[in-house]
């Protein structure tokens, strides 16, 4: 019997963007199970609560059968060991992301040799999008409808940054 491979794509997803969705859709085709891990970071001020982020990500990804949205706190590698996850999926947009993700991949490999990191470049049309940039331009009233899923856009409008 073939081994079932479980992977995780983790981040704050505050909010989830079309760039995230691009990576998730592609990664979901590569693995039997793909968890979307929403990180609880008490040191980071977020626009959406963890519960709101979970719901937005679930709505956004409802068309993908093998995806499960969860939240966690602590080290990602510890979560993976406890949940039999063998692959970390990471997305990159630019060379700056490559440097950071490579450093993280090496650290994670040092912490747990059995867990691999797969790095996927985003589609070029999303290469400039980040959750932080979305919130920043929204603050100034920019049109972001092509950058985030529709359900996210609706919630962002409700929370419009003052």
- How far, in Å, CA of 116 to CA of 128, rounded? 26
Question: Which residue among the candidates 6, 53, 90, 93 is catalytic per the annotation?
Answer: 93
Six token digits for residue 91: 């997305």
Close Cβ partners of 54 (under 8 Å, ≥ 6 residues apart): 38, 69, 70, 71
Tell me, yes or no, if 20 is annotated catalytic: yes
Question: Which residue among the candidates 20, 35, 53, 90 is catalytic per the annotation?
Answer: 20
Question: Which residue among the candidates 3, 44, 63, 158 is catalytic per the annotation?
Answer: 44
**Among the listed residues 149, 161, 126, 146, the one whose alpha carbon sits nearest the alpha carbon of residue 16:** 149
Tell me, yes or no, if 93 is annotated catalytic: yes
- Give catalytic residue positions: 20, 44, 93, 131
């Amino acid at each position: 019997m073939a081994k079932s491979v479980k992977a995780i794509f983790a981040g704050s997803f505050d909010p989830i963007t079309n760039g995230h969705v691009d990576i998730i859709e592609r990664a979901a085709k590569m693995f039997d199970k793909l968890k979307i891990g929403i990180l609880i970071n008490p040191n980071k001020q977020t626009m959406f609560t963890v519960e709101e982020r979970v719901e937005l990500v679930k709505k956004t990804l409802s068309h993908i059968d093998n995806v499960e949205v969860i939240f966690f706190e602590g080290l990602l590698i510890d979560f993976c060991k406890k949940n039999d996850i063998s692959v970390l999926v990471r997305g990159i947009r630019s060379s700056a992301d490559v440097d950071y993700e490579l450093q993280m991949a090496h650290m994670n490999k040092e912490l747990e040799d059995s867990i691999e990191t797969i790095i996927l470049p985003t589609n070029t049309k999303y290469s400039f999008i980040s959750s932080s940039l979305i919130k920043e331009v929204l603050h100034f009233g920019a049109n972001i409808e092509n950058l985030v899923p529709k359900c996210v856009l609706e919630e962002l409008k409700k929370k419009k940054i003052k």
